[in-house]
Amino acid sequence: MTDAPIAHRHLPDRLDNPLRSAVLSWESLLVLVVVGIFIINSFASPYFLNAWSLSDLTFNFTEKGLIALAMALLIISGEIDLSVASIIALASTLMGLALQYGADTSTLVAIGVGVGVLCGAFNGALVTGLKLPSIVVTIGTMSLFRGISYIILGDGSFKDYPKSFAWFGQGYVWWVISFELVLFLAFSLAYFVLLHRTSFGRRVYAIGNNEVAAKFSGVRVERIKFILFCLTGVMSGIAAVLLTARLGSTRPSIAKGMELEAITMVVLGGVSILGGAGSIIGVVLAALIIGLVTFGLGLLNVPGTVMTIFTGALLIVVIALPILFKMWRQRT
Amino acid sequence: MKMLAKYREIWLGLAILLVLVLVTARFPRFAQPTNLLSIFNDTSILMMLALGQMAVILTRSIDLSMASNLALTGMIVAMTNASFPAVPVPLLMAMCLVVGGLLGAFNGILVWKLSIPPIVVTLGTLTIYRGMVFVLSGGAWVNAAQMSPEFIGLQRSIFLGLPVLSWMAIIVAALFYVLMTRTPLGRAHYAIGVNPTASVYTGINVGFTKFMAFTIAGAIAGLCGYLWVSRYVIASVEVASGYELTIIAACVIGGVSIAGGIGTVAGVVLGALFLGVINSALPVINISPFWQMAISGTAILLAVVLNARGEQRKGRLILKKAEAST
């Protein structure tokens, strides 16, 4: 019965040597891919190996990476949030609206992050409170949030954000290191500690592996899932601030398709879409890979739509290769 | 709320009638037969796509690539027609079914043989197919001037009072009804959705059925590619951009459960019609089209809440996750 959908749990005789399991892990594969793409990019375009060029590279993946960090925790717990890009749109639109009423930079940031939290809480309330499947709820809120942005803005745009606000997306902290990169690295560290070094993180894994067992073990499943949805909302709000500051304008179509890119980063990073497995290091490496690929293709003047072929193909190939490898090994 | 589950289609039909009545009260011309038939015609493509998506969702999968499949097949067939106007249109439609079916089969093979979760596969093929539209066309459009008159005219021609497009939707819905309720393959979809492990022990080939579901969905998306391109007389990279969500919305509103195993052809048809009626009513009531997205989002949320209430069973499903993981 080769097609039997029964999970095979493998109980080994003895545990792997820690060094061996570290070397043969998904993260090591990702490191190899990063190095490989870096080398390919260096040969493909003369403009790549340049400090300012590499700095521009970071703008490509930091906003999506921030969302991917929170999304990773959410997917590990067994849920999903497809509305993140629409939360960005709504947060950006409301920030622009506040700008029309003369809000200053700190108010704008507060509004952006605040809207993110509220939208995340809305998602969380529907999923945990009414026990609805997260995929359809977030498909619904995806349309709803972006729809509200369209109602407010129509086909216009908000412009003229203040210079101090623009610094968030365009500013540099030291030499070529941009603020966005620093923020991304700081949050990566924070999420690493949250997921891998706290009991909260252990509980997230527990929920993802067996929700009912977790509940009967005393894990407050509903509360943790609600917190994770709010975290995703917060990160989307922060990404909205960064993106709006970088672009300098707001349209209702802002960040279209970003949810798929964030999920691609998460899945590429080794997080199982079914929940229960994955690491932050993988997600950060995957964000870097996607950034390298899109930046490298951009330097070669490849149009955006063709770039997405590479991202889509990369996702399928990287997931399929280990499975094919295992199948080939079992044959011989 | 249990009544809702049993008579879901009736409630949905009543909801559509309610919207019709409300709009007609202010604008009597809305309920004219020609207008109603026109609404049905406008919704035909969504109806067919939602039926294809239903087959996939029934087997506990999801297909996010249908809109990109539609765009790619539409572009292929439009470019063929522009270069070889003499090719008869039925042959082009057959080509659409084959090409769309192959694109869907690619999804199906990855899900069947490599056991990659469908959401990951279709996430990838969504972008790949959309990108291939650009690669094929070089970013250029195919517009009305380049399409042959038969290409554009076939689905608009009236046969027994209805346009051919409406007839196609009716035929596809009828075929789907027969497939889902009267053939072993159709019953297998429901079986897998409710309990994949039991299905295996009953002798159903789970992987093959999922493969067939994706292929069928792909073939329908291909056919709708031709219909879309000839209806809106444009083939471009932006065709049906973002439409995959509308398709899933029609399914959800029609009572298809995202957990698999629950859903009827009548429900999906009514779900698509509900969205179609609302979309037609908006310009009549003078609500700007910018409200459309928010309204369909709210409709999805309401539909999910109502569906979930109806599906809840008494007692604890302790083994539900175990079933879901197989």
8 A C-beta contact, residue B154 and residue B164 = yes
DSSP codes, A42-89: HHH-TTSSSHHHHHHHHHHHHHHHHHHHHHHHHHHTT---TTHHHHHH
pLDDT value at A159 more than 60: yes
**pLDDT tens digits for A218-257?**
999 999 999 999 999 999 999 999 999 988 888 888 888 7
Picking from A119, A122, A127, A144 by the largest number of B CB atoms within 10 A of its own CB, the best residue to mutate is A144
Predicted local distance difference test score (pLDDT) of residue B326: 42
8 A C-beta contact, residue B218 and residue B100 = yes
pLDDT range class, residue A5, cuts 50, 70, 90: low
8 A C-beta contact, residue B227 and residue B96 = no
- Cα B260 to Cα A5, B190, B256, distances in angstroms: 15, 8, 8
Predicted local distance difference test score (pLDDT) of residue A1: 45
As a whole number of angstroms, the distance between CA B135 and CA A243 comes to 29
- Cα B222 to Cα A115, B48, B85, distances in angstroms: 40, 11, 19
pLDDT range class, residue B6, cuts 50, 70, 90: low
How many CA atoms, within 13 angstroms, populate the side-chain half-sphere of residue B116? 28
Which of A75, A95, A111, A44 minimizes the C-alpha distance to A265?
A: A75
Predicted local distance difference test score (pLDDT) of residue B35: 86
**pLDDT tens digits for B253-283?**
898 988 888 899 999 999 999 999 988 888 8
Give the H/E segment covering residue B162.
strand B162-163
Residue B234: strand pairing partners: B143
Tell me the average pLDDT of chain A: 87
3-state secondary structure A98-139: HHHCCCCHHHHHHHHHHHHHHHHHHHHHHHHHCCCCHHHHHH
Among B114, B290, B321, select the one facing A151 at the smallest CB separation: B290
Contact of A18 with chain B, judged by CB distance below 8 Å, is answered with no
- In this prediction, residues B130-152 reach a mean pLDDT of 84
Predicted local distance difference test score (pLDDT) of residue A51: 78
Q: Which residue has the higher pLDDT, A155 or B189?
A: B189
Read off the amino acid at residue B157. S
- Cα B195 to Cα B199, B267, B321, distances in angstroms: 6, 22, 11
CB pairs under 8 A between A and B: 162
CB contact under 8 A, A308 and B127: yes
8 A C-beta contact, residue A84 and residue A236 = yes
**pLDDT tens digits for B151-175?**
888 878 888 878 889 999 999 999 9
CB contact under 8 A, A144 and B298: yes
Give the H/E segment covering residue B142.
strand B142-143
High-pLDDT (> 70) share of chain B, %: 93
CB contact under 8 A, A309 and B128: yes
- In this prediction, residues B122-148 reach a mean pLDDT of 87
pTM for the model stands at 0.88
- In this prediction, residues B210-224 reach a mean pLDDT of 96
Find where tokens 């790619």 sit: B72
- In this prediction, residues B220-237 reach a mean pLDDT of 91
Q: Which residue has the higher pLDDT, B163 or B242?
A: B163
Asked which of A71-85, A87-101, A133-147, A162-176 is least confident by mean pLDDT, the reply is A162-176
E-assigned strands of B173-249? Answer: 234-235
CB contact under 8 A, B128 and A312: yes
As a whole number of angstroms, the distance between CA A133 and CA B22 comes to 32
Picking from B202, B275, B290, B312 by the largest number of A CB atoms within 10 A of its own CB, the best residue to mutate is B290
Residue B142: strand pairing partners: B235
- In this prediction, residues B184-207 reach a mean pLDDT of 92
Question: In residues, how long is chain A?
Answer: 332
CB contact under 8 A, A143 and B237: no
As a whole number of angstroms, the distance between CA A108 and CA A99 comes to 7
pLDDT value at A106 more than 90: no
Chain B residues 86-115 within an 8 A CB cutoff of chain A: 110, 112, 114-115
Distance of alpha carbon A46 from its chain centroid, rounded? 30
Among B242, B248, B294, select the one facing A144 at the smallest CB separation: B294
Predicted local distance difference test score (pLDDT) of residue B228: 92
* Chain B residues in contact with A132 (beta carbon < 8 A): 304-305, 308
pLDDT value at B26 more than 60: yes
Predicted local distance difference test score (pLDDT) of residue B95: 93
Using CA atoms of A19, A21, A27, A33 in order, give the dihedral in degrees to the nearest 10: 80
**pLDDT tens digits for A58-77?**
888 999 999 999 999 999 99
* Chain A residues in contact with B236 (beta carbon < 8 A): none
As a whole number of angstroms, the distance between CA B53 and CA B62 comes to 7
Q: Which residue has the higher pLDDT, B243 or B8?
A: B243
Q: Tell me how far apart the terminal alpha carbons of chain A are, to the nearest angstrom.
A: 19
pLDDT value at B324 more than 60: no
Neighbours of A171 (CB within 10 A): 15
8 A C-beta contact, residue B74 and residue B229 = yes
Contact of A297 with chain B, judged by CB distance below 8 Å, is answered with no
Among A133, A143, A211, select the one facing B259 at the smallest CB separation: A133
DSSP-derived pairing of the beta strands B142-143 and B234-235:
antiparallel
8 A C-beta contact, residue A292 and residue A56 = no
* Chain A residues in contact with B121 (beta carbon < 8 A): 316
Picking from B59, B127, B246 by the largest number of A CB atoms within 10 A of its own CB, the best residue to mutate is B127
8 A C-beta contact, residue A95 and residue A108 = yes
Tell me the average pLDDT of chain B: 86
SS3 B8: helix
Distance in Å, alpha carbon of A3 to nearest chain B alpha carbon: 6
Which of B13, B5, B4 minimizes the C-alpha distance to B277?
A: B13
Predicted local distance difference test score (pLDDT) of residue A4: 53
How does DSSP classify residue A172?
E
CB contact under 8 A, A141 and B321: no
* Chain B residues in contact with A313 (beta carbon < 8 A): 124, 128
* Chain A residues in contact with B137 (beta carbon < 8 A): none
- In this prediction, residues A74-87 reach a mean pLDDT of 94
**pLDDT tens digits for B36-82?**
888 999 999 999 999 999 999 999 999 999 999 999 999 999 988 88
Among A274, A306, A313, select the one facing B325 at the smallest CB separation: A274
Radius of gyration of chain B measured on its C-alpha atoms: 20
